[in-house]
Amino acid sequence: MPTYDYDLFTIGAGSAGVRASRMAAGFGARAAVAEERYLGGTCVNVGCIPKKLLVYAAHFSADFDDAAGFGWSLGTRQFDWARLIANKNEEIRRLNGVYDRLLQGSGVTIINGRAQLLDAHTVSVDGKAYTAKHILIATGGWPTMPSIPGVENSVTSNEAFFLPRLPDSVLIVGGGYIGVEFAGIFHGLGARVTLVHRGAVFLTGFDDDIRAFLAQEMGKKGIDLRFNAQVARIEQIPAIKRVTLKDGTKVDASLVMFATGRAPNTKNLGLENAGVKLNADGAILVDDYSRTTTSNIYAVGDCTDRRMLTPVAIAEGKAVAETLFNSRPTKPNYANVPTAIFSNPTVGTVGLTEAEARLQHGAVDVYKTVFRPLKHTLSGSAEQAMMKLVVDRETDRVLGCHMVGADAGEIIQGLAVALNCGATKAQFDATIGIHPTAAEEFVTMRDKVA
């Protein structure tokens, strides 16, 4: 039997790599993880966590305005971007330390440096070779930018977390969840925001009613949404960027940020040395158990381009550890994965969109409600909320739950449990709501709209 330095060598200490490495060590495996940047990966450092902190900050401007309707008199308000970023950075440093302690406490060896595969069982980190029975690739993704004139005068979400000052005006290119979320962040903190998206409406892949309703609400708040538009070039004018769209329209902004997608971070890893194959987009090809085209090498998370969500990556990492070191071959479960977009207002969704449900199940019933939340009867805000249920007409099973409104992510998380249990519309109807809450609307909708 060949002997190796480790039973599992993980490349990448993001959410997926850390979970897999810790669980493997817990099952008795000798585990190591190599990381060239920062422990915690995208989510902790330039993704979910810092983004949510900035989202919280951005909500205060509206909260201050809402307070007047409830009898509060507020003094002069002033926002300090530098203080927010410093406090955010301190929290991220704390989390980096938490990840370090979790790994070491689990018995995982941390190796700092860039790892490359030399062959199917050998990894080199800054020139030092390590051998492993199994190798796990968990290198995540990286923001991409298009090749257009002047693109060097712009930033991605990575750099947006470390800006030295809050820009007066921002033009965001891209209509995915990152672009939509940063539009709400910058607008809430006081910047003038323009969002440019090449499609008819943003958030491709989400339920069409959700997309249209969120666009309506963001427009009401004063965000300039430019749909069916594309950037032709960017020019650096003294103190500003001048963005020319393909229709000839010009927009000036202090900052231009591209949120036009993320690519699997698979370049220069030496994958070809181990026979690991990629698809046309550079994502690592894997089977249902996250095994690559080389039998002892696995890959999880964004580098496989399956579902780019942190909890999904964690589930994939856990499944690999169970499969390899706990005698429990495990496939990740991608059914009814809930997700939230921390836009303003928030989007929460789980299950099938209406279009997907009609395609897969044929006849469906749709229930939808749009209302003014109780809070805003006194705040004076014009913000509305929307909730939607998609139901299989034949079985009465709820196929999809969708929401735009405050706390949508918190509400949808609970409904995800119901969908995974196969809940029916009759069971939703039989559930007594908590009054007065927005969430109770999900169990009181009775009139079909389609």
Which sequence positions are flagged as catalytic?
Answer: 435
What does the alpha-carbon distance between residue 290 and residue 336 come to, in Å, rounded to a whole number? 19
CA distances from 112 to 33, 39, 426 (A): 8, 10, 55
Please name the residues in contact with 394: beta carbons below 8 A apart, sequence gap of 6 or more.
Answer: 361, 362, 363
What does the alpha-carbon distance between residue 324 and residue 231 come to, in Å, rounded to a whole number? 47
Backbone phi, psi, residue 342, to 5°: -85, 55
What does the alpha-carbon distance between residue 198 and residue 202 come to, in Å, rounded to a whole number? 8
Backbone phi, psi, residue 151, to 5°: -60, -20
Which two three-digit tokens encode residue 262?
A: 């993320």
Contact 276, 297 (CB under 8 A): yes
Instruction: Please provide the size of the chain in residues.
Output: 450
* Cα 259–Cα 262–Cα 265 angle in degrees, nearest 5: 145
- CB neighbours of residue 421 within 10 Å: 9
Query: Looking at beta carbons, which pairs linking 219-226 to residues 24 or more positions away fall under 8 Å?
Result: 220/382, 220/383, 221/187, 221/344, 221/383, 222/187, 223/183, 223/184, 223/187, 223/193, 223/194, 223/195, 224/192, 224/193, 224/194, 224/195, 225/195, 225/197, 226/194, 226/195, 226/196, 226/197, 226/251
